Chain A
Amino acid sequence: MKKGSHTPARIALYGMDDRTCKTMEMYLKGPCRGVAVVVRETEADIDVIDADHPRAKDILDARKAATPNRPIILLSLQDLRIDNTFFIKKPVNVTQIVDVLGKIKAATAPRKVFFNPVKAAETPPAPVEPVKQAPPEPPRKMAMDVYAKKPAGVKHVDVSEQQKTAKHQSAVQLNEGGFTAFLGTVSDIDFEDSAQLLTACYDPRQSFLGYVQSAYKTANLQSRALQLNSIWKPLIIFPESQEIWLDADDKQLRAFAGMTLGKNATGSMVLVPFDNGKAADRAMDKFQNMNTFIWKLALWTSKGRFPIGLDIQRPVFLVTWPNFTRLVITPDALRMAALLVSTPKTPLEVVSLLRVKPQYVFAFISACHALGLLRQSERQVDTVIAAEPPQKSTNKSLLRKILGKLLGA
Chain B
Amino acid sequence: MSQYKIIFTGPVGAGKTTAINSISDVPPVKTDAAASDMTKNRKSSTTVAMDYGVMNLAGGEKIHLYGTPGQERFDFMWDILTVGGIGLILLLDNTRADPFQDMKFFLDAFGKFINDTSVAIGVTQMDLSGKPTIDDYHAQLQTYGLKPPVFEVDAREKNDVSLLVQALLYSLDPGLAE
Bound CA–CA A18/B69 (angstroms): 13
Residue of B nearest to A404 (CB): B178
A65 close to chain B: CB less than 8 A: no
Bound CA–CA A17/B126 (angstroms): 31
A195 close to chain B: CB less than 8 A: no
Bound CA–CA A381/B138 (angstroms): 26
Q: How many residues of A contact B (CB 8 A)?
A: 78
Contacting residues of chain A (391-409) with chain B, CB-CB under 8 angstroms = 392, 394-396, 398-407, 409
Contacts of B118 in A (CB 8 A): 392
Task: Assess the A337–B170 pair: CB atoms within 8 A.
Answer: yes
Bound CA–CA A269/B133 (angstroms): 30
Contact with A147, one of B23, B72, B142 (Cβ below 8 angstroms): B72
Bound CA–CA A23/B75 (angstroms): 10
Contacts of A171 in B (CB 8 A): 159-160, 163
Task: Assess the A147–B70 pair: CB atoms within 8 A.
Answer: yes
A265 close to chain B: CB less than 8 A: no
Contact with B176, one of A18, A24, A321, A335 (Cβ below 8 angstroms): A335
- Given A91-B75, A323-B150, A170 contacting B86 (CB threshold 8 A): no
Residue of A nearest to B6 (CB): A402
Binary contact readout A22-39 vs B (1 if CB under 8 angstroms, 0 otherwise): 111011001100000000
From residue B147, how far is it (CB to closest CB) to chain A in Å?
5
A116 close to chain B: CB less than 8 A: no
Task: Assess the A157–B128 pair: CB atoms within 8 A.
Answer: yes
Contacting residues of chain A (301-322) with chain B, CB-CB under 8 angstroms = 319-321
Contacts of A401 in B (CB 8 A): 57-59, 61
Chain B residues with CB under 8 Å of chain A are: 4, 11-13, 23, 31-32, 35, 47, 49, 55-59, 61, 63, 69-80, 86, 95-98, 101-102, 105, 109, 116-118, 122, 126-130, 133-135, 138, 142, 147-154, 157, 159-160, 162-167, 169-178
Known contacts A146-B98, A398-B86, A405-B55, then 11 further A-B pairs from the complex at CB < 8 Å, ordered by chain A residue: A19-B73, A23-B77, A77-B105, A91-B78, A145-B72, A321-B167, A324-B149, A396-B173, A400-B178, A402-B63, A407-B178
Can you offer 21 A-B residue contacts whose CB atoms are under 8 A?
A16-B73, A18-B35, A20-B74, A31-B80, A50-B73, A77-B105, A91-B78, A162-B128, A171-B159, A171-B160, A320-B150, A324-B149, A324-B167, A334-B166, A339-B175, A394-B86, A394-B173, A396-B173, A403-B178, A404-B58, A405-B56
Q: What are the 8 tightest A-B residue pairs by CB atom distance, in nearest-first order?
A: A153-B97, A91-B75, A92-B76, A338-B174, A338-B170, A23-B49, A339-B174, A401-B57
